[in-house]
């Protein structure tokens, strides 16, 4: 095949022989280039015109998927939160019950300890409400719970302070009680009381400065209160005697012992054995002569001896 091109510029028509292989190659290359150009332009056109919409659609699809996932997650979170809040509300209820019990205990302690009830405010009502009001909405609950917890925490703080004060008061009371002469220093019966009596030796009227407790020889003699031994030795008339200072104005004396078990300066606890009963000094038989002194004056020990700790 031959193509003949005729142009005005040229005097002679130009002839292309398509049978010529070189020319064919040139033409094919030209066609290929044109095709490539078309594809390129088409691609650019496609990108500039069609792509934004597709991309937007893809993005919308993606977002829809994300929203669906978040919905599922939110349902889960809501359920978790609900469960968590329910557990929290239950815990709060338990704490409130404990607080109420603590109040009751505090009141009873104050009563048992014979403490001034006015000093302790245990009858304050425990924190209630809030939790019940807020069961309708999952979003109202946290705030109500939060305020209930804050209230409860404050109440526990107050109770703790009050109980600490109560404890120290009770401990002080116990210490005080340990220092006060209470009970009999020895098992036995009272053979002679405090006050004016006929002297057992000469029959003259004399003042008996303590009580005599008849008891077998060698019976352990106990201190009736905690204190410090200030004297352990022989005194005229008293024989082997122990004197104990209790540090609060009280002093006790235990006389006519056969044996002393303590030494001066020794600290003795309530009920500790300080001597063995006997009949040393001015005595007609085995007994313990027991004296109680308060602020430097001898007092009737009977009330102390008959008390119980
Ligand atoms: Zn006596």
pLDDT, tens digit (0-9, with 9 covering 90-100), for 188-213: 999 999 988 777 777 667 789 999 99
What residues contact residue 205 under an 8 Å CB cut-off, 6+ apart? 196, 197, 198, 199
Ligand 1 centroid distance, CA of 212 (Å):
5
| Long-range contacts (CB closer than 8 Å, 24 or more residues apart) made by 201-207 | 201/282, 201/284
Ligand 1 centroid distance, CA of 307 (Å):
20
Ligand 1 centroid distance, CA of 277 (Å):
13
Is residue 133 over pLDDT 50? no
Which two structure tokens, joined as six digits, stand for 130? 């809030």
Ligand 1 centroid distance, CA of 230 (Å):
20
Q: Binning pLDDT at 50, 70 and 90, where does residue 51 land?
A: low
For residue 222, the model assigns a pLDDT of: 98
Ligand 1 centroid distance, CA of 294 (Å):
18
Ligand 1 centroid distance, CA of 308 (Å):
22
Domain edges within the chain: 2-49, 85-179, 189-306
Report which DSSP code applies to 278. Answer: B
3-state secondary structure of 241: strand
18 Rama sector, left if φ>0, alpha if ψ -120 to 50, beta otherwise: alpha
- C-alpha dihedral (284, 285, 288, 293), degrees to nearest 10: 0
Q: If you average pLDDT over every residue of the chain, what do you get?
A: 80
Ligand 1 centroid distance, CA of 210 (Å):
6
| pLDDT greater at residue 288 or residue 187 | 288
Q: Give tens-digit pLDDT for 146-181.
A: 787 778 778 777 777 777 777 777 777 778 889 999
Q: Binning pLDDT at 50, 70 and 90, where does residue 24 land?
A: confident
Ligand 1 centroid distance, CA of 209 (Å):
7
Helices first, then strands: H and E counts in the chain: 4, 15
- The β-bridge partners of 36 are none
Rg over alpha carbons for the chain, rounded to the nearest Å, is 54
For residue 136, the model assigns a pLDDT of: 47
Ligand 1 centroid distance, CA of 265 (Å):
25
Nearest to 153 by CA among 84, 98, 110, 90: 98
Query: Rounded to an integer, what distance in angstroms lies between the CA atom of residue 267 and that of residue 226?
Result: 8
CATH number of 189-306: 2.70.70.10
* Residues around the ion ligand 1 (C-beta < 5 A): 212, 289
Query: Rounded to an integer, what distance in angstroms lies between the CA atom of residue 287 and that of residue 273?
Result: 16
CB 226 within 8 A of CB 246: yes
Is residue 93 over pLDDT 60? yes
When pLDDT is averaged across residues 247-253 and rounded to a whole number, the result is 94
Is residue 43 over pLDDT 90? no
For residue 82, the model assigns a pLDDT of: 78
Our measurement of the distance from residue 218's CA atom to the centroid of its chain's CA atoms, rounded to an integer in Å, reads 51
For residue 134, the model assigns a pLDDT of: 43
Ligand 1 centroid distance, CA of 309 (Å):
24
Ligand 1 centroid distance, CA of 175 (Å):
29
Q: Give tens-digit pLDDT for 53-85.
A: 677 777 777 777 877 887 888 788 778 877 877
């Amino acid at each position: 095949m031959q193509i003949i091109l005729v142009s005005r510029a040229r005097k002679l028509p130009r002839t292309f022989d398509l049978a010529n292989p070189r020319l064919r190659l040139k033409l094919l290359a030209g066609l290929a280039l044109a095709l490539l150009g078309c594809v390129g332009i088409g691609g650019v056109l496609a990108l500039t015109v069609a792509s934004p919409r597709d991309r937007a659609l893809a993005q919308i699809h993606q977002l829809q998927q994300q929203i669906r996932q978040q919905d599922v997650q939110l349902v889960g979170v809501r359920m978790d939160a609900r469960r968590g809040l329910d557990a929290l509300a239950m815990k709060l209820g338990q704490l409130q019950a404990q607080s109420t019990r603590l109040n009751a205990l505090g009141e009873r302690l104050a009563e048992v300890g014979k403490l001034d009830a006015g000093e302790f405010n245990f009858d304050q009502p425990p924190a209630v409400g809030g939790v019940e009001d807020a069961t309708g909405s999952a979003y109202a609950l946290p705030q109500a719970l939060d305020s209930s917890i804050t209230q409860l925490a404050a109440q526990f703080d107050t109770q703790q302070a009050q109980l600490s004060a109560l404890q120290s008061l009770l401990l002080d009371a116990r210490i005080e009680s340990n220092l006060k002469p209470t009970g009999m220093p020895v098992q036995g019966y009272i053979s002679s009381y405090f006050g004016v009596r006929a002297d057992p030796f000469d029959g003259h009227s004399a003042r008996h400065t303590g009580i005599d407790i008849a008891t077998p020889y060698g019976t352990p003699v106990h201190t009736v209160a905690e204190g410090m031994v200030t004297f352990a030795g022989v005194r005229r008339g008293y024989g082997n005697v122990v004197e104990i200072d209790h540090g609060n104005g009280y002093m006790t004396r235990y006389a006519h012992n056969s044996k002393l078990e303590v030494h001066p300066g020794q600290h003795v606890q309530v009920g500790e054995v300080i001597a063995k009963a006997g009949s040393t000094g001015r005595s007609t038989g085995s007994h313990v002569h027991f004296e109680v002194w308060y602020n430097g004056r001898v007092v009737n020990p009977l009330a102390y001896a008959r008390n119980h700790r």
